[in-house]
Amino acid sequence: MTDTATTTDADWQSWQASWDRQQEWYMPDREERFRVMLDTAEALVGSEPLVLDLACGTGTVTDRLLRRFPGARSTAVDLDPALLTIARGHFGDDERVRFVTADLTDPSWPELLPHGSYDAVLTATALHWLETEPLAALYRQLHGLLRDGGVFLNADHMTDESAPRINAAVHAHTEARKDRERADGAQDWAAWWRAVADDPALAEPARRRFGLLGDPRHPSVPRSAPQGDRPTTTDWHLRALLDAGFAEARQVWCSASDAVVAALR
């Protein structure tokens, strides 16, 4: 189903801002990732691209895209009813944005898209819940959705396992920082979802989200499907992208726990 943006009386801008703050508690360098993604996209496909925002959530990538490139257009795809409600409210009647509700594990999901090909596919902190085989299959689909010369950019949790002591030290430092900020009132994933469920404007889409994808308000409940064989390293992603048919693939940014990879069709 393809939808245009809708609005209600809720303060969607505040919800978008609270999502950003919650995500930044986990990733304080989050905006730097977005900058690198958009720099790379501009270098390869220009400043007025037609973009597929994959697993868009609240529309964070599309928001940065349109602020930087007013002539760009975005198809924002997700399955989460609550996050899509916030995204639709945030963008209102902006004709540059189209929303599609789709399950990326359904092989037929590309048939729901309003365009047959895109200049760029962008995604951030969204695909790590997919296991190895479904993610490899998705990469093959994305290759087919890009025009020749188009680019795929994925910012997500990826590690370099060649330096375990460095990784352990940085992880400990990060957890200590998060503990301090939580003590000062920072909102984590579970607390954010509790707030969503308590908002009358979001209670119904939150209920549907919990039934569809799990209830993240309780840490003992998985956020999505049970953990299985999920890729964790940058090297895996680069190999999978090349195997999917991309002509080139490389890392364009990294932290100790995350990376941005780019693949060129």
pLDDT of residue 9: 53
E strands in 4-106: 50-54, 73-78, 97-101
- Cβ neighbour number for residue 1 with a 10 Å cutoff: 7
Render pLDDT for 139-169 as a digit per residue (tens, 0 to 9).
Answer: 999 999 999 999 999 999 999 989 999 999 9
Closest C-alpha among 116, 133, 145 to residue 54: 145
Pick the CATH number of 2-264 from 3.50.50.60, 3.30.300.30, 2.30.29.30, 3.40.50.150: 3.40.50.150
The residue assigned the tokens 């958009």 is 38
Considering the entire predicted model, what is its pTM? 0.92
Task: Give the pLDDT band (50/70/90) at residue 218.
Answer: confident
pLDDT of residue 221: 46
- Cβ neighbour number for residue 228 with a 10 Å cutoff: 10
Question: Is the pLDDT at 56 greater than 60, yes or no?
Answer: yes
Question: Is the pLDDT at 82 greater than 60, yes or no?
Answer: yes
73, amino acid identity: R
Q: Exposed (0-12), middle (13-18) or buried (19+): which is 186, by Cβ within 10 Å?
A: middle
Closest C-alpha among 135, 131, 133 to residue 154: 135
Mean pLDDT of 258-265: 98
Domain boundaries, the chain: 2-264
Percent of the chain residues topping a pLDDT of 90: 89
Mean pLDDT of 227-244: 90
Q: What is the mean pLDDT of the chain?
A: 93
Three-state DSSP class for residue 88: helix
Q: How far apart are CA 85 and CA 5, in angstroms?
A: 9
